[in-house]
Amino acid sequence: MPRFDEYAEGVEKKKASFSHYNILPLNITSGPTQPVMEIPEIKAAVELLRWTQNLPMPRPDPTSVPQEIEGPVVNDLLDWLWQTFGFQKGNVENQKEHLILLLANMDMRGIDSARQGERQIHMIHRNTIDRLMKKVFQNYISWCRYLHLESNIKIPRDESTQQPELLYIGLYLLIWGEASNVRFMPECLCYIFHHMARDLYDIISDRREGFFEPPFQREGSDDAFLQLVIQPIYNVIYNEAVMGKHGTVSHSKWRNYDDLNEFFWSKKCFKQLGWPMNQASDFFTSPT
């Protein structure tokens, strides 16, 4: 028996190293460090995302946190977005890795020979985040210009770091990560992001102490965004596709992706849908 007890203790100590991951073992805290985590740009990007100072905290809801998650819930900026907007934990982990790799790869490509010696004490350069912002939000900015809207990507006046920029990028990636077939409607994603970016700015610019109430929250669940935002739009897509009978019905009888997305190229979407979205809007009317 003592030998089996000793074996069990050894397994328990190494349990964290058995965690699932794609490329970056972000949640493994014991065992040998993986070589990929020693790349200076990766280390710098990880540290950048873990800078959560000065952020107001969402009111904790223990029923929405999966039981298998141990330790503090908000370890980095994407964890904060998870608790604030009700994204799914799996999506958060995927997009966290996605954002770290984007930052590291873009920063690595920007290294010149004069900076090679800096890599051991590397920091993600401000220009890298600016270039990533332009790349991620190119379509959103074009959409705002077309509709003569002011962009909701706003930085608090007293902000001295690029924490807000990373929050906006993370927010868009998390929206995209759970969008399912709504990804085929890019201007619809712009509409969703436009309103959620406004909610984000209102939160990070409010310096009052204490917890704030998350905009999206479903008791006992961590899929509030999916259920409250994406699923209603997905149901419209699905019902219209059923009406189309695999494209055999005249297009005048049902709406395809382009028809649905065209709705978001006009300001009437703001009047008819609003935010939170009005489920009684004609946009959600089932085809007959």
Q: What is the DSSP letter of 229?
A: I
CA distance 5 to 198: 55
3-state secondary structure (DSSP) of residue 245: coil
What 3-state DSSP class applies to 212? Answer: strand
d(CA 264, CA 194): 12
C-beta separation of 59 from 212 below 8 A: yes
Output the pLDDT for position 85: 93
> Which tokens in the block code for residue 44?
């710098």
Higher-confidence position of 86 and 29: 86
Q: Which one is predicted more confidently, 231 or 19?
A: 231
CA-angle at 125, arms to 124 and 128, nearest 5°: 95
Give 113's pLDDT tier (boundaries 50, 70, 90): very low
Choice between 275 and 15, residue whose per-residue pLDDT is larger: 275
pLDDT in tens, 49-99: 999 988 998 887 655 555 544 444 789 999 999 999 999 999 999 999 999
Return the structure tokens found at 200: 């984000």
- CA separation for the pair 240, 152 (Å, rounded): 31
Non-local CB neighbours of 74 within 8 Å, separated by 6+ positions: 52, 57, 80, 83
Nearby residues of 163 by Cβ (< 8 Å), 6 or more positions away: 51, 54, 55, 77
Tokens of 173: 């990636």
Give CA–CA dist 260/254, Å, rounded: 10
- Confidence (pTM): 0.86
Biggest CA–CA distance in the chain, Å, is 76
pLDDT 10s digits, 226-284: 999 999 999 999 999 898 887 788 878 888 999 999 999 999 999 999 999 999 999 99
pLDDT level of residue 288 (50, 70, 90 thresholds): low
